């Protein structure tokens, strides 16, 4: 019942005391092991330096069994889900359930308080700490690992996200108070290897490599002992073998090996600027994305590409165009039919542009971290791109400002009235059947609009009026609201700008 019960309302005090008493008795009646009595595979190593001794490596051991039965430890790591409230399935054999069941309802209430303050789901690769309540450990460090389809091969991004989990947990443990009379003992579970589907062998290599690399850069760490707790005999053998083959000294021990073609991605992902960017995003309360033409180019809709123009618009090279940018401002059309022929072809190209992994990944990241319930979203997009790719990949139109217009609408260049904006789709539907497949032009006698003209690049004020008329928040509204909260952390993310 406690497993399925929500954190709120809180249980009456007398019931909480009775539950805690029962859990303490249950823990005392179970077989336990001291983390300090587990034989290390890699003993702690101290290195002489000018100012004394520095730790180049903590004691590292591996143990198979119930993580809640390990005593004499500062913190244990919980592989949580993005809700961070524990498992709600009674009897479920996940580490999240085991830890919450042994800690008692106080742990769920503590997690609930953290998530209420955060206001959104927990992103992968981060770490949060709570008291351990009825556990042997004083603290629990919660982290959400990457989830992949069982049996699939992890991508570079997923591998790096798992490594981030270990780094975040280590850093969180480092910031905990040092216990009286000694260092800290940190016990890791096998993050993401359960129902989250990460292959055990790859997860083992990532865990060991990441932990050792972290300590190579933190010689003054107060963490003196690390225990890898595993589920199965096969996992136990994996860690024993991996740790036994290491002779680690300078952070260059072999670890996860990525294909040569992906090495540049790995290098970029680990660069100081990328690490700083990830930290800023994790700590931000609100996010403002400012996107330019480079983002479209990354989605292969490159306005400077001669190849793209030749492939999609060969019928218009006779006008001297080399790329899409060359058409901007061009007024020497031989006829209105020729002008509208280009407009329609351009709109069709953008309309039919395939879905892009870049935008899908961006939306997945933003929706997980900054999208709230009941429309309480904490992000806004401001883009000069007229291609509409943000909206096509899931971003709500109300969260996207396009001051230079967008191809989904045509606007009267006469500005005769504020609502002189028209959906482009009916015009495309009327013209597309009549476009010559070779010349890409409309017939010379094809009737074209005379009172409106296609213009993706419209004045900013007109675009803002259009957005306002649709009752969508502008960037000014967004920033003003967020800036009024003095403690709010607003991160600005510039994508695709030169």
DSSP-assigned states of every residue in 50-71 = TTEEEEEE-EEEEEES-GGGEE
Q: Give how far Cα 178 sits from Cα of 80, 182, 265, Å.
A: 25, 7, 37
Are 78 and 188 in contact, with CB atoms under 8 Å apart? no
> Dihedral through CA 385, CA 364, CA 146, CA 357, nearest 10?
-50
For the chain, give the mean pLDDT: 81
Are 363 and 379 in contact, with CB atoms under 8 Å apart? no
What percent of the chain has a predicted confidence (pLDDT) above 70? 79
Largest CA distance in the chain: 92
Q: Identify the pLDDT of residue 469.
A: 34
pLDDT class for 494, splitting at 50, 70, 90?
Answer: low
Measuring CA to CA, which residue among 378, 411, 340 is closest to residue 479?
378
Find the mean pLDDT for residues 297-306: 88
pLDDT surpasses 50 at 251:
no
Q: Identify the pLDDT of residue 252.
A: 44
Q: Identify the pLDDT of residue 257.
A: 43
Are 167 and 275 in contact, with CB atoms under 8 Å apart? no
> Dihedral through CA 224, CA 230, CA 235, CA 238, nearest 10?
0
Task: Read off the DSSP letter of residue 42.
Answer: B
pLDDT surpasses 60 at 193:
yes
pLDDT surpasses 80 at 1:
no
Q: Identify the pLDDT of residue 467.
A: 37
Angle, in degrees to the nearest 10, between helices 13-29 and 95-103: 110
First to last CA, the chain: 57
pLDDT class for 481, splitting at 50, 70, 90?
Answer: low
Q: Where are the beta strands (DSSP E) in 292-384?
A: 379-383
The CA distance from 269 to 263, in Å, is 10
Residues whose CB is less than 8 angstroms from the CB of residue 362 and which lie 6 or more positions away in sequence, other chains included: 393, 495
Condensed to tens digits (0 to 9), the pLDDT of residues 72-104 reads 999 999 999 999 998 877 777 789 989 999 999
Give φ, ψ of 491 to 5 degrees. -105, 135
Are 248 and 295 in contact, with CB atoms under 8 Å apart? no
The CA distance from 139 to 105, in Å, is 15
Q: What share of the chain is helix, strand, coil (3-state, %, to 5)?
A: 40, 15, 45
Q: Identify the pLDDT of residue 284.
A: 80
pLDDT surpasses 50 at 458:
no
Measuring CA to CA, which residue among 125, 127, 84, 132 is closest to residue 107?
132
> Rounded to two decimals, what is the model's pTM?
0.58
pLDDT surpasses 80 at 336:
yes
Dihedral angle sign, alpha carbons of residues 231, 232, 234, 239:
positive
Q: Where in the chain is the domain with CATH 3.40.220.10?
A: 13-279
Q: Identify the pLDDT of residue 457.
A: 32
Condensed to tens digits (0 to 9), the pLDDT of residues 398-456 reads 899 998 888 888 877 766 677 778 888 999 999 999 999 999 999 999 988 765 444 43
- Assigned token pair, 172: 């969180």
Q: Identify the pLDDT of residue 477.
A: 56
- Assigned token pair, 249: 């000294």
CATH class of 13-279: alpha beta
H or E segment and range at residue 34: strand 33-34
- Assigned token pair, 27: 């823990």
Which alpha helices (H) appear in 126-262, and where do they start and end?
156-174, 200-216, 233-244
H or E segment and range at residue 103: helix 95-103
Helix, strand or coil for residue 444? coil
Q: Identify the pLDDT of residue 480.
A: 53
What b/e readout covers 100-121, taking b as 16+ CB neighbours within 10 angstroms? bbbbbbbbbbbbbebbeeeebb
Are 106 and 133 in contact, with CB atoms under 8 Å apart? yes
Find the mean pLDDT for residues 200-208: 93
pLDDT surpasses 50 at 460:
no
Measuring CA to CA, which residue among 221, 213, 214, 182 is closest to residue 53?
221
pLDDT surpasses 70 at 141:
yes
The CA distance from 487 to 172, in Å, is 22
Give the pairing type, strands 490-495 and 286-291.
parallel
**Residue for token pair 């009267």:** 412
Q: Identify the pLDDT of residue 449.
A: 79
Which alpha helices (H) appear in 389-434, and where do they start and end?
389-392, 425-431
């Amino acid at each position: 019942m406690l497993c399925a019960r929500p954190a709120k309302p809180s249980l009456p005090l007398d019931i909480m005391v009775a539950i805690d008493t029962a859990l303490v008795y249950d823990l005392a009646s179970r077989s336990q092991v001291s983390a300090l009595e587990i034989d290390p595979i890699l003993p702690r190593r101290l290195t002489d330096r000018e100012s004394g001794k520095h730790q180049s490596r903590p004691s590292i051991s591996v143990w198979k069994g119930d993580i809640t039965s390990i005593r004499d430890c500062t913190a244990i790591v919980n592989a949580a889900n993005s809700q961070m409230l524990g498992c709600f399935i009674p009897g479920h054999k996940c580490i999240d359930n085991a830890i919450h069941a042994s800690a008692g309802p106080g742990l769920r209430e503590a997690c609930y308080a953290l998530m209420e303050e955060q206001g959104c789901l927990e992103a992968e690769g981060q770490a949060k700490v709570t008291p351990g309540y009825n556990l042997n450990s004083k603290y629990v460090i919660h982290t959400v690992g990457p989830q992949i389809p069982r049996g699939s091969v992890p991508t570079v991004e997923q591998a790096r996200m798992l490594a981030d989990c270990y780094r975040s947990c280590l850093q969180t443990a480092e910031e905990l108070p040092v216990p009286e009379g000694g260092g800290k003992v940190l016990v890791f579970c096998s993050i993401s290897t359960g129902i989250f589907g990460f292959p055990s062998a790859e997860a083992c290599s990532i865990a060991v490599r990441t932990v050792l690399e972290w300590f190579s850069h933190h010689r003054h760490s107060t963490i003196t002992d690390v225990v890898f707790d595993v589920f199965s005999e096969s996992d136990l053998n994996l860690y024993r073998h991996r740790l036994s083959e290491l002779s680690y000294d300078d952070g260059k021990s072999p670890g996860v090996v990525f294909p040569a073609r992906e090495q540049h991605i790995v290098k970029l992902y680990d660069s100081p600027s990328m690490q700083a960017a990830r930290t800023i995003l994790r700590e931000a309360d609100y996010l403002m994305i400012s996107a330019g033409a480079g983002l479209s180019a990354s989605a292969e809709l490159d306005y400077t590409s001669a190849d793209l123009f030749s492939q999609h618009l060969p019928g218009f090279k006779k006008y001297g165009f080399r790329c899409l940018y060359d058409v901007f401002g061009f007024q020497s059309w031989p006829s209105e039919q020729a002008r509208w022929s280009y407009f329609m072809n351009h709109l069709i190209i953008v309309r039919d542009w395939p879905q892009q992994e870049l935008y899908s990944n961006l939306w997945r990241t933003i929706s997980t971290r900054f999208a709230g319930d009941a429309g309480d979203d904490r992000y806004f997009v401001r883009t000069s791109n007229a291609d509409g790719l943000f909206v096509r990949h899931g971003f709500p139109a109300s969260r996207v400002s396009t001051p230079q217009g967008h191809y989904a609408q045509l606007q009267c260049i006469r500005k005769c009235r504020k609502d002189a904006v028209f959906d482009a789709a009916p015009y495309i539907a009327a013209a597309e059947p009549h476009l010559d497949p070779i010349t890409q032009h409309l017939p010379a006698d094809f009737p074209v609009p005379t009172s409106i003209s296609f213009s993706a690049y419209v004045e900013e004020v007109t675009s803002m009026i259009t957005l306002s008329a649709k009752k969508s928040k502008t960037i000014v509204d967004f920033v003003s609201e967020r800036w009024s909260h003095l403690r709010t952390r607003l991160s600005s993310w510039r994508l695709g700008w030169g």
